[in-house]
Structure 1
Amino acid sequence: MNQIILASHGPLAQGMKESIEFFLGPTSIVCLTQTKEESGLQQEIESVLRACAGRHVIVFTDMIGGSVNQMFTRALEHHDFLLVSFMHLGLILECVLQQGNIDASMLQEMIDATKRQCLLMNEWMDQQQQDGEE
């Protein structure tokens, strides 16, 4: 089974978990938050990753290059997990619903599909209308 960890600056991770649980009910998703004050996040990361040793872990951080993402990137040197530098509700839902372990190749396919879902709807609707007129 996949263990999902959401980590963000501020309440984004907790909000994503709450949105997922709106659809699915209670989950085992772990949320970690970086606050403006020193929060001891690095120690929390180490503790959570040690507790998840031997499990299949996927971590989603809020943005590439941010301090939260950097801490998890450093943790890759000592822990085995997949790290995604973006939180997308549909992608996380898909991971939570996946019955078997998600490997890097499968996760990359899921990410690629997610990228295709990011659209400027105004242009998409205009294109749909144009296609309908032809």
Structure 2
Amino acid sequence: MNKFLIITHSTLAEGFYNSTKFLSGLTDNVKFINAYVDESDWTKEAKQFLSKENYKNSVVVMTDIFGGSVNQKMTLLLKKFNFILITGVNLPLVLSLVLETEPLTKEKCSKIVTEARKQLQVVKAVKPEKDEQDDVFLN
């Protein structure tokens, strides 16, 4: 079974967790850490998760900002623990990973990241015709 750890600055990780639970109901294998919300050392919790899950499952850690302090600290842990680290997380990425039933590899994660990037778009206003429904995405 794939295991996931979402770590972000402030409470964004919890937001991803809650949205994933709301949209998919699948969060038994997902844990989150809200980093820097208090004075506690969040890396202890991350290390505990990684040491418990290491080698038993495919473990994917997601962070918010490439080069940010959360990502930097998790990059250092790649030397000690066996996990896949993905940064620049967005909700389509989280959902795609959590819904994946096959064991995740770096190659599979790269493909999922590529697909999640496609969700980042500037949306143009659509002028509906008189007879179109309100939801222009249904057509």
Please classify the TM superposition score into its range, dividing by the shorter chain length: 0.7 to 0.9
- Give the superposition deviation at 1:80: 0.7
- Structure 1 equivalent of residue 17 of structure 2: 17
Q: How does 1:12-51 map to 2 (within 5 A)?
A: 12-28=12-28, 29-51=30-52
- The alignment yields a C-alpha RMSD, in angstroms, of 1.6
Structure number with higher helix proportion = 1
Question: Which of 42, 67, 70 is matched with 1:68 structurally?
Answer: 70
Residues in 1 aligned to 2:49 and 2:26: alpha-carbon distance in whole angstroms: 19
Unaligned segments of structure 1, at least 5 residues: 127-134
Counterpart mapping for 1:1-134 below 5 A: 1-28=1-28, 29-54=30-55, 55-122=57-124
AA partner of residue 40 (structure 1): D
Alpha-carbon deviation of 1:116? 2.1
Partner residue of 1:130? none
Gaps of 5+ in 2: 128-139
Question: TM-score, structure 2 length as denominator?
Answer: 0.83
Secondary structure class of the residue paired with 1:7: strand
* Number of matched pairs: 125
What residue identity is the alignment partner of 1:76? L
What amino acid does structure 2 have at the position aligned with 1:20? T
- 1:104 Cα shift? 0.7
Q: What TM-score do you get using the length of structure 1 for normalisation?
A: 0.86
SS at match of 2:34: strand
